[in-house]
Structure 1
Amino acid sequence: MARASSKPPRGTSSPDPMPERIDPCLAVLVDKPPKGPDWAFEVKWDGYRLAVHVEPDRVRIITRGGYDWTPRFPSIAAEARQLGYETLILDGEAVVLDDQGRSDFGMLQRALGKRPSLHDPREIIFFAFDLLYVDGWDLRRLPLRERRWLLDPIVAGRAGAIRLSEEVQADGDEFFRVACEHGLEGIIAKHIEKPYRPGRGEWWQKITCKRRDSFVIVGFEPSTVPGHLGRLLLAARQGNDLVYVGGCGTGWSHDLSRELRKLLEGMATKTPAVALKRKGAVFVEPVLVAEVEYRAWTDDGKLRHASFKGIREREDEAGVFDISKTVEGPTPLD
């Protein structure tokens, strides 16, 4: 496939400075896929949202919250340098695939973890789904269909650490049904005529088979099995505060239960991070974030049928669920 043209996109006349960082476009959660020929669909990847910046003298891999995580993704950084462009910004998702070809967030976290793991960082794949800048030209003002036209020849057909997130124009309801049948997290719908805009907007929509969000771990309840974890106590952000949103008592193995219990006991505190009194609970410093899959919210603002999927340090605040800034969860709590 031919390389994307080095000529400036339509409507530009001189080179644009390369942005130091671009705030990502985020999808709004909706109940059903949109209809019409102006919508294209992709698989919803279950990983870390990243921007890959290829610069003349370096490659930088930036998280959604603006952190430089380049050292954590050496294979992606090395391959980005081989794409053949002096400057480039790719938007996409880093994932680890299971033996069924599905992205698995827990496997990704183990590959990135400091502890020994069966998963190697070289297993991490970056699925590129947007091109924001290339060789002196800022593409964000172009409609998605033109950005994808320029992206395809850069990464299409690659089978290494950087790959193309395939886009399909199909019936959204049917695509969503098939995605859920195959155990995927969901799908993303994107309006092909819209430019790239930071923040959440109706031009990108996500439809999930189950809901998935990040919550701060503020404590735990011990299991009746000595040395094991019974239940994580979770909180969401409400502006600058944390509010209790319920617990999670499933999703970990026997060994992980013991490991999590030991980890959290080392972070115990007498001062809860949320207004909560619970007999037998052990409160911890709010420094860890749990990835949780759940079905819905209860009327009183608690997670329903929550299941643990992974854990990370609270160094990248952007992904923590914020009740006060989203319509996806419960009514804001007083």
Structure 2
Amino acid sequence: MPARVDPCLAMLVDRPPPGPDWAFEVKWDGYRLAVHIEPSRVRIITRGGYDWTDRFPSIAAEARLLGLKTAILDGEAVVLDGHGRSDFGMLQRALGRLPTTQGPGEIILYTFDLLYLDGCDLRRLPQRERRRLLEQVVPVDRNGAIRLSEEVPADGDEFLRVACAHGIEGIVAKHHERPYRSGRRPDWLKITCTRRDSFAIVGFEPSTVPGAIGRLLLAARRGGELVYVGGCGTGWTQAESRKLREVLQEIATDSPAVKLKRKSAVFCEPVLVAEVEYRAWTDEGKLRHPSFKGIRERADDATVYELK
């Protein structure tokens, strides 16, 4: 049994692929995890290879109840809002990163692939066969902390339209006949309703509300440098805004990481990465309608967006 498997990552495309060779699922908005079930323990490994078992106690406890000797489940840890949609901000609050009344017991793992089962490495099998075995391990009607990410038998364009109308981040398409291959490959494709990427936080502008943030100042990479790509002023509660300001003030600096002059700005060391949803890029190279979704960690393989 492998100690770790680098995950298969979906390539971003503009439209769903046509034809009967593709399976479609909801694109979940959370933390990508691999659950390793071993004879004497359960390990929960992030996309970046870090052991986060202690952060997901309900998922680890339920994995022990699946009745498997050895297995590796691939999935996404999420928290659902009142409409059944995954919400990254709610997940961060449940993990204790932002103020909340939610707890880790609300976190669900939607599993969508099975890489190893009872002594057998399944990665060379086609996706349809791995899926058949996964549905035996995690049935469609299973509730609790570990659930099945269902395949939707629909036309890709129509499924994307409905997903976007319901406020879902997007959809994922997986080729039925492909094996599981680590890295970003065209075996899996993602189609999003809005764009979403990670940007370095290089400072903030104070809010008129005492102790809060008015705008985060964001940067992308170009070569070996950081380039300012605009400010983000929405996506947080007042409590979250005050917490962010406290954190950023602790890493304030007099040497900005980008070429930017703002009279009221407080610049900080570019060590935190913000997950941001946005519509498009302006002609001036700035984010259009950005909204803050949370802080990504390096343990989740957070990478700053690279400008072409």
Bucket of the pairwise TM-score, normalised by the shorter protein: over 0.9
Q: CA RMSD in A?
A: 1.8
Could you say which residue in structure 2 is the equivalent of 1:136? 119
Name structure 1 gaps, 5 residues minimum.
1-17, 324-329
1:50–1:277 distance in 2 versus 1, CA, 3 Å: same
TM-score, normalised with respect to structure 2: 0.94
Secondary structure in 1 matching 2:187: strand
Name structure 2 gaps, 5 residues minimum.
none
Secondary structure in 1 matching 2:66: coil
> Structure 2 CA distance, aligned partners of 1:127 and 1:238?
35
1:54–1:133 distance in 2 versus 1, CA, 3 Å: same
1:236, 1:320 within 8 Å by CA — same for their partners in 2?
A: no
2:32, 2:300 within 8 Å by CA — same for their partners in 1?
A: no
Could you say which residue in structure 2 is the equivalent of 1:243? 227
From 191, 204, 210, the equivalent of 1:207 is 191
1:69–1:225 distance in 2 versus 1, CA, 3 Å: same
Could you say which residue in structure 2 is the equivalent of 1:288? 272
**What fraction of aligned residue pairs are identical, expressed as a percent?**
73
After TM superposition, the structure 1 = structure 2 runs for residues 181-260 of structure 1, keeping only pairs within 5 Å, are 181-238=165-222, 241-260=225-244
1:95, 1:126 within 8 Å by CA — same for their partners in 2?
A: yes
Deviation at 1:247, TM superposition (A): 1.8
Deviation at 1:114, TM superposition (A): 5.2
Does residue 263 (structure 1) correspond to residue 247 (structure 2)? The answer is: yes
2:197, 2:305 within 8 Å by CA — same for their partners in 1?
A: no
Moved more, 232-241 or 43-52: 232-241
- Please list the CA deviations of residues 165-206 of structure 1 after superposition, one character each: whole Å capped at 9, or x if unmatched: 001232001111111111111111111111111111212111
> Structure 2 CA distance, aligned partners of 1:309 and 1:200?
23
- Please list the CA deviations of residues 67-99 of structure 1 after superposition, one character each: whole Å capped at 9, or x if unmatched: 111100001011111111111001110000111
TM-score, normalised with respect to structure 1: 0.87
Q: What one-letter code is carried by the residue in structure 2 that aligns with 1:149?
A: R
> Structure 2 CA distance, aligned partners of 1:259 and 1:20?
37
> Structure 1 CA distance, aligned partners of 2:23 and 2:163?
15
Does residue 321 (structure 1) correspond to residue 279 (structure 2)? The answer is: no
Could you say which residue in structure 2 is the equivalent of 1:13? none
- Please list the CA deviations of residues 46-77 of structure 1 after superposition, one character each: whole Å capped at 9, or x if unmatched: 11111111112111111111111110000101
How many aligned positions are there? 307
> Structure 2 CA distance, aligned partners of 1:162 and 1:113?
21
From 124, 129, 133, the equivalent of 2:107 is 124
From 163, 167, 175, the equivalent of 2:159 is 175
Deviation at 1:112, TM superposition (A): 0.2
> Structure 2 CA distance, aligned partners of 1:167 and 1:115?
32
Moved more, 157-166 or 285-294: 285-294
